[in-house]
Amino acid sequence: MSVCFPKLSRVAVCGGTHGNELSGVYLVRELQRCAGDGAHVNTLLCDTFVFPSPSGPISDTAPYEMIRSRELNALLGPKGSPKAVDLICDLHNTTADMGLCLIAYSDHDWICLHIFRHLQRQMPDIPMRYIHFDVSNKESYSLDSVGKHGFAIEIGPQPHGVVRSNIYTAMKFGVQHMLDWVRFFNSGTIFEGGFVDVFTMVKHIDYPRDRETRNITAAIHPQLQDRDFSLLQPEDPLFQTFSGETLRYKGKEPLYPFFINECAYYEKSIALSLARKRRVMIPCKGTL
């Protein structure tokens, strides 16, 4: 089986969608500084700065984030239209020890899956996974969903508000290899088919909380902390309460934890997410 696609003429690399995730902020600035040096793809380099849903009515007093999301939808989309850019790569950081993850809303977007496999081969020293949020394109609200194809590159661990050289460098190489792949693809290279492991998000788990105050009463257990993508078995330690007690995973199915102790998810009531792993066959690929 082989699949052909039109060329990817317009690719957007975006940083700063979450303004305190600094690797992407500084990487996009660096790419902007170097723009023109041998770029063979029409690459849009975007300082994005916060991006909620672009739909719904907007007023004069709308918050900055709402206004900016409209601007970005106009610049990179409109979402779902033929004018939308061909590919969006949105750069993120996490405090979780997740290595480099491609996060997408599809488990059969062959462009995204081939790019993932290329990065895996080019960067064998970096732990790398493909995460699939099983949400329809209409329901998806992230910046990368505005393009015809799109994904987030999520790299950690890095505290928000901090840039760490090793994380920045991994992101830089990831973006370079992604753009290389697009150039190869556009120049007619045929990519072999094969298999990719996909982690499909199943559910989130919240912290234990005080019934009245809703304050959290436990932290991620030290035996789980920094063990993203290590299979969590029923009865494995999950949390350690602030008085020292161990709370265990009561699910019946072994699942793969990720986004363990992500800073931005405390307010979303997510202590960690759990995924099922599947092997997906991707077809041989070329341009039309």
Query: Which residues does the annotation mark as catalytic?
Result: 154
Tell me the helices (H) and strands (E) count for the chain, helix number first: 4, 14
Q: How far apart are the first and last CA of the chain?
A: 15
Cβ proximity to a copy of itself, 81 vs 169, nearer residue? 169
* 18 labeled part of a ligand binding site: yes
- The whole-angstrom separation of Cα 160 and Cα 264 is 9
Q: Binding of a copy of itself at residue 273 (CB under 8 A)?
A: no
Give the residue carrying structure tokens 């409209």: 70
Strand pairing partners for 161? none
Nearest CA to 144 among 62, 281, 48, 57? 48
Residues 103-142 as x/- pattern, contact with a copy of itself by CB under 8 A: ----------------------------------------
Strand pairing partners for 208? none
Cβ proximity to a copy of itself, 198 vs 218, nearer residue? 218
Q: Binding of a copy of itself at residue 175 (CB under 8 A)?
A: no
* 71 labeled part of a ligand binding site: no
- The whole-angstrom separation of Cα 193 and Cα 101 is 21
- The whole-angstrom separation of Cα 224 and Cα 42 is 43
Q: Among 136, 165, 250, 279, which residue interacts with a copy of itself (rule: CB under 8 A)? A: 165
Segment 76-95, which members bind a copy of itself (CB under 8 A)?
A: 95
* 92 labeled part of a ligand binding site: yes
- CA distances for 2 relative to 5, 114, 287, angstroms: 10, 13, 10
Q: Binding of a copy of itself at residue 221 (CB under 8 A)?
A: yes
Cβ 221 to a copy of itself shortest distance, Å? 6
Nearest CA to 175 among 58, 50, 28, 284? 28
Q: Binding of a copy of itself at residue 159 (CB under 8 A)?
A: yes
Cβ proximity to a copy of itself, 37 vs 60, nearer residue? 37
Per CB under 8 A, residues contacting a copy of itself are 26-27, 29-30, 33-34, 95, 157, 159-166, 168-169, 215-216, 219-222, 225, 240, 242-244, 261, 263-264, 266
